[in-house]
Amino acid sequence: MQTVAIVGLGLIGGSLGLDLTRLGYRVIGVTRRPETAQMALAKEVVHQAGTDLPLVKEADIVVICTPMDGVVAIAQALLPHLKAATILTDVASVKGALVRELEALWPNFVGGHPMAGKAEAGLAVAEPNLFCGRPYVLTPTERTPQPAVTAMAHLAQQLGAHLYTCRPEEHDRAVAWISHLPVMVSSSLIQACQQEPEPTILALAQALASSGFRDTSRVGGGVPDLGTLMARYNRDALLQSLNLYQQQVERLKHWIVTEDWQGLHQFLSQAQGARPAYVEPTPQVGE
Amino acid sequence: MQTVAIVGLGLIGGSLGLDLTRLGYRVIGVTRRPETAQMALAKEVVHQAGTDLPLVKEADIVVICTPMDGVVAIAQALLPHLKAATILTDVASVKGALVRELEALWPNFVGGHPMAGKAEAGLAVAEPNLFCGRPYVLTPTERTPQPAVTAMAHLAQQLGAHLYTCRPEEHDRAVAWISHLPVMVSSSLIQACQQEPEPTILALAQALASSGFRDTSRVGGGVPDLGTLMARYNRDALLQSLNLYQQQVERLKHWIVTEDWQGLHQFLSQAQGARPAYVEPTPQVGE
């Protein structure tokens, strides 16, 4: 029986524990707060839980599930307690710099990003099968040992996730487009509406807003902590996306300024034609 | 018994007919295509239907439900067939210039905008209670006779709609923010992603896109005809909104370029704090 240690028992760590215990792994949870460890045991998320890092010493796989800005410090603190063969992995939503730092600390490291989430955070909202049918991206580099990749790929498939494998930088550029840029576009929309100088018109806009505004503004009205971490850790890819985005807004505005309604219609038709490739179920790419 | 003529039997005109027949009005439908008139009769959307404009001659209220760019021409063609006391109204989603033109043609005109819709268009998807619980905006001017406003307000309330009354220009600025700007923001997002030069990264982005991208891109992937009409008829208000939007994107980018993560966090927190006023149920304002 393989032993998996999960460090950080929030939504992702907790949901992972629920699945892995049922899949027959021995699961150990490590968390900062004793109450979280108690809750994890009570919810049968883990077989053993506590606040001491040495708990990970028997683990074959250690999954760091803390927020992005805590991952490197936790990894450093864990090192003395790992067996030589232990696979270290993480679940952070930006990979580039983090993967380079972590593989320098521990050669048997594989970067991972299970792309599942909910509006709320924390162990209380953890649930079974959170990763089922969702992408699980692994980001090995030229330095990553193949057996570690194979083991993690097996684990992701056992979770029912769709496995993707790519370089850390490819992952970061892809998520800049479809995850980080939308947050910036969407929060800017809300902030722009707030610039309306007439209070009666602002109140009317707020009253008339319906599903279109609700959907377009949803990710921009999300957790500021996560949005800030996305930008901080994926700064270069996000800026590149933002610049290309600004060019498109400028292009669209040009059609309106010049009253070139054919040009605008073509722009909107291209967008309509392109969207299904992003939002309809697609076959798995990569391994 | 009051008689209402509906000119244009698509989603809005058809759904209006379904409600008004049940409310006890006598309903006459006028449409361009004989097949649509047949379908309207078969679906019991109207009591009488045809392709001849003189059918409206008995109507107390005539509702023009054609696409925005056909409204003025239809109104001109209808004029010879209206009784002196007939109230003329429309359902176009931009009011300013249209209202001024229509009230010049027919003094007993009240601009209207029932804010309901579906992803599909046409009589085939018309449904009862489409307007129930949704905003119905009336845009009288200093020239609009009060009895006409009162009659239309009564009709909107009978539909179960939330009634709002404001000047045409106020309506247009409000919908520029919450309806037209989101379409432009959202279509530009799709177009920006399409600029990714690496085919493997584009394919990965398309495969990894999930609910966040789906929601943010939804209205931008909608009907190009409608998006173009919005921009064409609401050009000035939309350009004003677009300019203020571009300023916000620039402001957000500034925090990222200068790595001012506190500034970015504050920007995202403001957006998060502002959003509920737009998306949570609000009490009725206006009349």
User: Smallest Cα–Cα separation from B229: which of B66, B75, B88, B102?
Assistant: B66
Q: Does residue B282 register a pLDDT over 80?
A: no
Q: Environment class of residue A95 by beta-carbon count within 10 Å: exposed (0-12), middle (13-18) or buried (19+)?
A: buried
- Token representation of residue B82: 């209206």
End-to-end CA, chain B: 26
pLDDT tier at B115, thresholds 50, 70, 90: very high
Beta bridge partners of B164: B137
Structural element, H or E, at residue B163: strand B162-165
Q: Can you list the domains of chain B with their CATH numbers?
A: 3-166 (3.40.50.720), 171-279 (1.10.3660.10)
What is the distance of C-alpha A33 from the center of its chain? Answer: 23
Helix (H, G, I), strand (E, B) or coil at B1: coil
Q: What are phi and psi of B123, to 5 degrees?
A: -60, -30
End-to-end CA, chain A: 26
User: Looking at CA atoms only, how far is residue A44 from chain B in angstroms?
Assistant: 29
Q: Which residue among A177, A196, A203 sits closest to B285, beta carbon to beta carbon?
A: A203
Distance CA B27, CA B90 (A): 16
Query: Is A238 in contact with B215 (Cβ distance < 8 A)?
Result: no
Helix (H, G, I), strand (E, B) or coil at A83: coil
Q: What tens digit of pLDDT does each residue of A194-204 get?
A: 999 999 999 99
Search chain A and give the residue with CA nearest B210: A279
User: Looking at CA atoms only, how far is residue A217 from chain B in angstroms?
Assistant: 7
Helix (H, G, I), strand (E, B) or coil at A102: helix
CB distance A216 to B186 below 8 Å: yes
C-alpha distances in angstroms, A259 versus A247, A249, B98, B231, B234? 18, 15, 18, 9, 11
pTM of the model: 0.93
Q: Which residue among B170, B228, B253 sits closest to A204, beta carbon to beta carbon?
A: B170
CB distance A234 to B183 below 8 Å: no
Q: Does residue A82 register a pLDDT over 50?
A: yes
Of A2-11, A54-63, B111-120, B167-176, the one with minimum mean pLDDT is B111-120
Return the pLDDT at B287. Answer: 36
Return the pLDDT at B121. Answer: 85
Q: Quote the Cα angle for B85-B49-B116, to 5°.
A: 75
Q: What tens digit of pLDDT does each residue of B136-178 get?
A: 999 999 999 999 999 999 999 999 999 999 999 999 999 999 9
Chain A residues with CB-CB distance to B264 below 8 A: 227-228, 231
Return the pLDDT at B119. Answer: 76
Q: Give me chain A's average pLDDT, please.
A: 95
C-alpha distances in angstroms, A12 versus A67, A117, A158, B239, B253? 10, 8, 16, 42, 30
Query: Is A206 in contact with B277 (Cβ distance < 8 A)?
Result: yes
Query: Is B220 in contact with A267 (Cβ distance < 8 A)?
Result: no
Region of A165 on the Ramachandran plot (φ > 0 left; ψ -120 to 50 alpha; else beta): beta
pLDDT tier at A285, thresholds 50, 70, 90: very low
Query: Is B187 in contact with A268 (Cβ distance < 8 A)?
Result: yes
Query: Is A249 in contact with B183 (Cβ distance < 8 A)?
Result: no
If one counts every other C-beta atom within 10 angstroms of the C-beta of residue A257, the result is 12
Q: Does residue A283 register a pLDDT over 70?
A: no
Helical pair B96-105 and B168-175, crossing angle rounded to 10 deg: 150
pLDDT tier at A286, thresholds 50, 70, 90: very low
Q: What are phi and psi of B61, to 5 degrees?
A: -130, 130
